[in-house]
Chains A and B, each alone.
Chain A
Amino acid sequence: MVRTGLGATMVRAGRRLLSSLPALFGVLVFTFLLMRVLPGDPAVFFASGPNAGKEEIEQIRRQMGLDKSVPEQLVFYLSDIGHGNLGRSMMTGQPVLKDLRERLPASLELTFTALLIALIAAVPLGVIAALRPGSIIDHGVRLFCALGVCVPTFVSGLLLIYVFYYLFGLAPDPTGRIDVFTSLPPQRTGFLSIDFLLAGDFEGWWAACRQLILPAVSMALFVIAPLARITRASMLVSLGSDFVRTARSVGLSWRKVVVTYALRNAILPVITIAGIVFSTMLGANVLVEKVFSWPGVASYALDALLSSDYAPVQGFVLLMASLFVLVNLVVDICYGIADPRVSIE
C-alpha cells in the first residue's frame, strides 16, 4: 500500500521507535547488572558508618531488597522505574528524578545551542567545499575537519577560556550558567536565554548568552568536522547528478540550483549524521560541563560517580538512553519531511 504525507512519516517513525525499544531495555538491564552484580556492596555505603554492625548492614540489605535473587531485584528495579522512582541521591538527599529534572534544561540548552552553531557553520562550509572541489577553500575545509576531530573538547574548551577570558577579557568568568548575583527570570522553559527573553530582560539575556557561548562553541568545534565532511560528500554526489545538470542547462539561477535542488537532495545523510552527532554531544556534555562548571545533568552524574553514589549515575544513563531514543525518533520524522520518498513502501 502506498501512503504519503505526514501519516506515513509517523507510521515509519513509530515502527522505528518500537524497534529501538529492545536496545533501550538492553541498556537498562546492562546498567542494572553493572551496578548490582559487580563487586561493591551498596548496603555498606548506606550503613551509618565504617563500623556499622553486621545486623545493621543485613537490615539495610533487606530494606533495599538486596537479599533477593538478581532476577527478582531486576523486576523490582524495573517496576520502580515504571513508577518514576529512580532512587535517592546520597549527595543531595533528594530523589534522583527531581535532581535530574532541575538540571536537565541546563544541559539541553547547552547541547542544542552547540548543535545549532555546528550546523550553521558546517553546512555552508561543506557546500562551499563541494562547489569548488580541489580549490584552496576545499583543502582548507578538509584541513579544518582533520584537525577538528583530533582536538579533545576539554582541551579546546580550556584554550577558548585562555584566549577569550584571560587574554582578551571578552568572555565572563567561565563558571556556571549565570552570575550568582543576577536576578533570575520566572522559569518557563528552563532555558535561561529563552526565559530572559520571555521576561523582556535583555540585559539578563545578554549575560546568559555570554556564559553560554564558550561552552557551546567548544562542543560545536568537535562535531563541525563530521557534519561538514558529510555535507561535502553528499553535495558532491548531488551536484554531479543529472537533475542538477538539467537545472543548470535550462538556465535556473545559481541559488535555485544549489539551494533548492542540490542541497535539498543532499540533506538526508546530513540529518543521519546530525542524529549520531547529537548523541556524541550528550557524551561530550560530561567533559564540557566539567570544564565550565555547568550545572547540568552530566556534571551531577559525574560528582555522584566520583563519590560512589550510584542511583544518580543509573538515572543519568537511563535519561541519556531515553533522550537518545527520542533523538532517533526526531531524526526519522525529519527524514520523512526532508524526503517524502523514504516513507513510501
Chain B
Amino acid sequence: MTSATLRHSVWILRGNPLTAVAAAGVTLFVLVAIFGPWIVPYDPVVSNVSEALQPPSAAHLAGTDQLGRDVFSRLIIAARLDLAIAVTAVGISFVIGAVVGSFCGYAGGRLDRAVGRFVDVMMAFPLFVLAMAMVAALGNRIENIVIATAIINLPFYIRFARAEVNVRRNVGWVEAARACGESHFSVVLRFLLPNILPAMAVQISLNLGWAILNAAGLSFIGLGVKPPTPEWGIMVAEGARFISTGRWWLVAFPGLALMLAVLCFNLLGDGMRDILDPRMRT
C-alpha cells in the first residue's frame, strides 16, 4: 500500500468512526486467533473438577464449565477455529463464484439466464438445511463444514459477479482490451475481475459474518466439531444443559463472542459499501 492510499484510507475512516471501530474489532479478532495460545491464562482442554461450574470471578473471567475448564481461555482458543472455518469457506466460494459468475455475465445468452435463474432460486432455499444435509452425506468432519458453508455461499458470489460484470461487459475499456487482441479469457480474468474486486470485498465482509453464524449453528446441532475442541457453537451447545439451572455464563460468553465477531464483519462490510457507493446508504 502506498502512503497516499494509506492516508486516503485514514481520512475515510475518520469520517466513519463506526467503520473504524469495526475494522479495529476485526483486527483484534484476527490477532486473538493468531496469538491465542500464547495469551490464554489456562489450558483450554485440561479439566479441574474441583472448580467446576464457577461463576465469573477475577481468577476465571468468564467462569468455568462443567469440567472446571476456564471458559475465557476456551473462548480465545476457539477464535482461531471459528475464523479459520469462515475465512476458508468464504475464500473458496469467492474464488469459484467470482470466476463462474464473471464468465457467465460476460458470455450472456441462454446459459447465463439459466444460471441466473438457478442461483436466484437457490438463494431463497433454506440454505442451512442444505448445509446440514451435505455435512450428513459427506461425513461429520470439520472439512465438510467448510465445504458445506462454501457451497451455500456460492450463489451469492455467482449472482454478484454476474451482475457486476454484466454492466461492464460493453464499456469502453473492455472494448479497447478486445480491440487490442486480448482473448475473452484474458478480458475477464485480467480486466473485468480486478475491476469488480472492491465491490466483491464488501460482499466478502458481509458474508464472513453469515458464514460464522452458519458454521456455529452446524456445530451447535452436533455436526463437524467434536468436544472437547473449543469452538463457540459447541460451547453454547455444552452450556445449554445448564441454562435452566441458572449457569448463564456458559452460554452468554460464547454467544457474545459470536455476536461481536459477526457484528464487526457486518459493520465493516456496511462501512466499505458506504465508502464505495454512498448512494446505497440506508
Residues of chain A touching chain B, judged by Cβ–Cβ distance below 8 Å, are 19-20, 22-23, 26-27, 31, 34-35, 38-40, 146-147, 149-156, 158-159, 161-162, 165-167, 173-174, 229, 232-233, 275-276, 279-280, 282-284, 286-287, 290-291, 301-302, 305-306, 308, 310, 313-314, 316-317, 320-321, 324, 328
Q: Residues of A contacting B266 with CB < 8 Å?
A: 146, 149-150
Contact pick for B139, options A39, A167, A321, CB 8 Å: A39
**Distance (whole angstroms) from the CB of A292 to the closest CB of chain B:** 10
Contact pick for A34, options B127, B137, B245, CB 8 Å: B137
A306, B129: Cβ atoms closer than 8 Å = no
Q: Residues of A contacting B128 with CB < 8 Å?
A: 280, 283-284, 286
| Bound CA–CA A283/B131 (angstroms) | 10
- 13 further A-B contacts with Cβ under 8 Å, apart from A23-B122, A162-B251, are A23-B121, A152-B233, A152-B255, A161-B243, A229-B282, A282-B126, A286-B132, A305-B136, A306-B222, A313-B133, A314-B133, A316-B129, A328-B124
Among A35, A150, A232, find the residue whose CB has the most chain B CB atoms closer than 10 A: A150
Q: Which of B57-77 contact A (CB under 8 A)?
A: none
**Distance (whole angstroms) from the CB of B125 to the closest CB of chain A:** 6
| Bound CA–CA A173/B244 (angstroms) | 8
Q: Residues of A contacting B252 with CB < 8 Å?
A: 159, 162
**Distance (whole angstroms) from the CB of A231 to the closest CB of chain B:** 11
Q: Residues of A contacting B122 with CB < 8 Å?
A: 23
| Bound CA–CA A245/B121 (angstroms) | 38
A165, B244: Cβ atoms closer than 8 Å = yes
| Bound CA–CA A337/B255 (angstroms) | 41
B126, A320: Cβ atoms closer than 8 Å = yes
Contact pick for A151, options B133, B222, B240, B259, CB 8 Å: B259
Could you give 22 example pairs across A and B, Cβ below 8 Å?
Answer: A23-B121, A27-B125, A27-B130, A31-B133, A34-B133, A35-B137, A147-B263, A149-B266, A150-B262, A152-B216, A152-B236, A152-B259, A153-B217, A159-B248, A162-B244, A165-B244, A279-B126, A282-B126, A283-B127, A286-B129, A301-B132, A316-B129
Is B49 part of the binding interface, using a Cβ–Cβ cutoff of 8 Å?
A: no
Number of CB contacts from chain A to chain B under 8 A: 149
A158, B263: Cβ atoms closer than 8 Å = no
**Distance (whole angstroms) from the CB of B131 to the closest CB of chain A:** 8
Q: Residues of B contacting A154 with CB < 8 Å?
A: 217, 220, 236-237, 240
B213, A152: Cβ atoms closer than 8 Å = yes
**Distance (whole angstroms) from the CB of A149 to the closest CB of chain B:** 7
Is B138 part of the binding interface, using a Cβ–Cβ cutoff of 8 Å?
A: yes
Q: Residues of B contacting A305 with CB < 8 Å?
A: 132-133, 136, 223
Contact pick for A276, options B124, B236, B245, CB 8 Å: B124
Q: Residues of B contacting A19 with CB < 8 Å?
A: 117
Is B267 part of the binding interface, using a Cβ–Cβ cutoff of 8 Å?
A: yes
B125, A324: Cβ atoms closer than 8 Å = yes
| Bound CA–CA A165/B252 (angstroms) | 16
Task: Tell me whether A26 and B217 are in contact in the complex, defined as CB-CB below 8 angstroms, given that A158-B243, A305-B132 are known contacts.
Answer: no
* Chain A, Cβ-Cβ closest to B134: A34
**Distance (whole angstroms) from the CB of B164 to the closest CB of chain A:** 21
Range, interface on chain B: 35 or more
* Chain A, Cβ-Cβ closest to B131: A283
| Bound CA–CA A316/B136 (angstroms) | 13
Is B258 part of the binding interface, using a Cβ–Cβ cutoff of 8 Å?
A: yes
A162, B246: Cβ atoms closer than 8 Å = yes
**Distance (whole angstroms) from the CB of A332 to the closest CB of chain B:** 12
Is B221 part of the binding interface, using a Cβ–Cβ cutoff of 8 Å?
A: yes
Q: Residues of A contacting B209 with CB < 8 Å?
A: 149-150
A20, B121: Cβ atoms closer than 8 Å = yes
Task: Tell me whether A155 and B259 are in contact in the complex, defined as CB-CB below 8 angstroms, given that A26-B118, A233-B282, A305-B136 are known contacts.
Answer: yes
B267, A155: Cβ atoms closer than 8 Å = no
Contact pick for A155, options B124, B132, B133, B236, CB 8 Å: B236
A158, B251: Cβ atoms closer than 8 Å = yes
**Distance (whole angstroms) from the CB of A16 to the closest CB of chain B:** 10
| Bound CA–CA A29/B252 (angstroms) | 41
* Chain A, Cβ-Cβ closest to B263: A150
| Bound CA–CA A320/B133 (angstroms) | 12
**Distance (whole angstroms) from the CB of B282 to the closest CB of chain A:** 5
| Bound CA–CA A173/B243 (angstroms) | 12
| Bound CA–CA A229/B118 (angstroms) | 26
| Bound CA–CA A291/B282 (angstroms) | 34
| Bound CA–CA A279/B262 (angstroms) | 21
Q: Residues of A contacting B223 with CB < 8 Å?
A: 305
A290, B282: Cβ atoms closer than 8 Å = no
Contact pick for B255, options A151, A229, A308, CB 8 Å: A151
Contact pick for B240, options A22, A38, A158, A314, CB 8 Å: A158
**Distance (whole angstroms) from the CB of A180 to the closest CB of chain B:** 17
Contact pick for B248, options A162, A310, A317, CB 8 Å: A162
Q: Residues of B contacting A34 with CB < 8 Å?
A: 133-134, 137-138
Contact pick for B126, options A35, A233, A283, A291, CB 8 Å: A283
Contact pick for B221, options A279, A280, A290, CB 8 Å: A290
**Distance (whole angstroms) from the CB of A281 to the closest CB of chain B:** 8
Q: Residues of A contacting B121 with CB < 8 Å?
A: 20, 23
**Distance (whole angstroms) from the CB of B238 to the closest CB of chain A:** 11
Q: Residues of A contacting B233 with CB < 8 Å?
A: 152
| Bound CA–CA A320/B266 (angstroms) | 28
| Bound CA–CA A158/B282 (angstroms) | 31
| Bound CA–CA A268/B223 (angstroms) | 38
| Bound CA–CA A310/B248 (angstroms) | 35
Q: Which of B232-282 contact A (CB under 8 A)?
A: 233, 236-237, 239-240, 243-246, 248, 251-252, 254-255, 258-260, 262-263, 266-267, 282
A321, B125: Cβ atoms closer than 8 Å = yes
Task: Tell me whether A162 and B243 are in contact in the complex, defined as CB-CB below 8 angstroms, given that A34-B134, A286-B129, A313-B136 are known contacts.
Answer: yes
